[in-house]
């Protein structure tokens, strides 16, 4: 469920008309709904009954400062994957003890920043990282709570570029090797190995891969406990999918996911933490764009919009589909046509949809790409020297620009000529 609906013939974000935002902000722009984000957060949090759980929002999915501040205000923790994200969430109001530092290639500088910042947990992804962290923690006189991220050899049945739990993936430690590494971690100074972490991928639409991975984590926890380890915390990652194509079979509901989690871990007595990203913010955001040119070819009619692949990378990178709707509500009997929805970037991959049927479009019409709140602005770039686009947050009838469009002068301020060319 989301709060982008037609009212009085035009699309609204909660109580704010999208055409008003377009007139004041300019297209293209992202728009986020506070009410949608809050509802998704509450529904996910309630899915686990009386289990001892914590939510750590996956910052990489949407690192907007205002979005992070909302989540921090509601009590969310954060899952980070870089030193930059650590600085960002601290500035957004995160409590250090509610931060989990994941990531397969943390630098020495990032690890030192995390230790000095007293983050709640660092997820270790290799034996080398384990020794580096032990050395740093000892030097700084700290003891760091760590989890070893397990690679359980489970195929998440999602896109190859967002699966992370198979032998071919760079993430995690082979689950057959983790008992020995826990023994080594226990013997190292500065480390407190009391948790196990797992994350098998993103946009997962079937509960079976989750359950297969979680059963291996449970078995590993029981085995380590039998050896005397005080395993009291399991970090179960994120990855539950959201509906992008509304004609397809919908992903499992958070309640179904929660019931499976309770069935696997209900009697284990561990605190469970989760790292949802897309699930919370995906449907809470839309990308608003304008039809710039209608171009009729031999076989296709192209609707060229002013948003490009640099603004929303997912279709080009993952062959992802985002439902598209007109901002002005079409009449029930409105004529329709088939379009190739493309952007202005100088790449054939700059395409949002093929052979999509929409109410007949005209140049200047506004359209909205739905479920764009996750990995949209987060993955955007300035390719073709196109400026990053604004992000707008709506709360009821209030709205504000929470990331503005930079000027050309600001974009160029980072560049300089060498002395021999100046």
Catalytic residue list: 346
3-state helix, strand, coil in the chain (%, to 5): 35, 25, 40
Strand partners, 56: 77
CA distances in angstroms from 420 to 234, 413, 414, 416, 417, listed in the order given: 57, 19, 18, 12, 8
Q: Is the peptide bond before 377 cis (omega within 30 degrees of 0)?
A: no
Cβ(11)–Cβ(329) below 8 Å: yes
Pairing, β 53-58 against β 366-369: unpaired
Is the alpha carbon torsion for 323, 327, 329, 333 positive or negative?
negative
Distance, in Å, from the CA atom of 197 to the CA atom of 342, rounded to the nearest integer, reads: 40
Tell me if 402 sits within 8 A of 364, measured CB to CB: no
User: What is the DSSP code string of 305-350?
Assistant: ES--TTT--HHHHH-----EEESBPPPTT--EEEEEEE-SSSSTT-
361 CB-near residues (< 8 Å, 6+ apart): 291, 294, 303, 326, 337, 339, 367
Reference 352, options 372, 382, 334, 366; nearest CA is: 372
């Amino acid at each position: 469920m989301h709060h982008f609906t037609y009212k009085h013939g035009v699309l609204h974000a909660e109580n704010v008309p999208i055409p008003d935002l377009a007139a004041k902000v300019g297209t293209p722009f992202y728009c986020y709904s506070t009410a949608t984000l809050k509802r998704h957060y509450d529904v996910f949090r309630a899915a686990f009954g009386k289990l001892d759980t914590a939510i750590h929002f996956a910052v990489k999915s949407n690192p907007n400062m205002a979005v992070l501040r909302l989540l921090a205000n509601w009590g969310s923790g954060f899952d980070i994957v870089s030193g930059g994200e650590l600085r960002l969430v601290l500035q957004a109001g995160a409590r250090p003890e509610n931060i989990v530092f994941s990531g397969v290639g943390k630098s020495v500088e990032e690890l030192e920043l995390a230790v000095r910042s007293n983050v709640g947990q660092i997820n270790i992804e290799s034996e080398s990282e384990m020794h580096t962290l032990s050395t740093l923690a000892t030097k700084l006189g700290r003891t760091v709570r760590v989890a070893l991220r397990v690679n359980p050899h489970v195929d998440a049945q999602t896109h190859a570029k967002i699966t992370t739990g198979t032998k071919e993936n760079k993430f995690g430690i082979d689950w057959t090797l983790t008992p020995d590494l826990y023994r080594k971690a226990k013997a190292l100074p500065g480390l407190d190995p009391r948790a196990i972490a797992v994350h098998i991928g993103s946009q997962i639409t079937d509960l079976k891969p989750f359950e297969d991975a979680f059963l291996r984590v449970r078995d590993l926890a029981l085995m380590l406990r039998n050896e005397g380890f005080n395993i009291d915390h399991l970090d179960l990652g994120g990855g539950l999918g959201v509906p992008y194509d509304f004609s397809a079979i919908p992903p499992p509901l958070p309640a179904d996911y929660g019931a499976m989690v309770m069935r696997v871990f209900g009697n284990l007595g561990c605190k469970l933490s989760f790292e949802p990203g897309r699930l919370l913010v995906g449907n809470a955001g839309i990308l608003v764009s304008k039809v710039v040119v209608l171009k009729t070819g031999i076989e296709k009619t192209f609707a060229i919009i002013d948003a490009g692949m640099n603004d929303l990378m997912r279709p080009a990178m993952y062959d992802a589909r985002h439902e598209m709707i007109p901002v002005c509500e079409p009449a029930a009997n409105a004529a329709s046509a088939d379009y190739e929805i493309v952007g202005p970037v100088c790449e054939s991959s700059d395409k949002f949809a093929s052979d999509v049927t929409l109410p007949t479009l005209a140049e200047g019409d506004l359209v909205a790409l739905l479920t764009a709140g996750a990995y949209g602005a987060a993955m955007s770039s300035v390719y073709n020297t196109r400026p990053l686009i604004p992000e707008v947050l709506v709360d009821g009838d209030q709205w504000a620009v929470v990331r503005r469009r930079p000027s050309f002068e600001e974009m160029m301020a980072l560049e300089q000529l060498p002395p021999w060319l100046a």
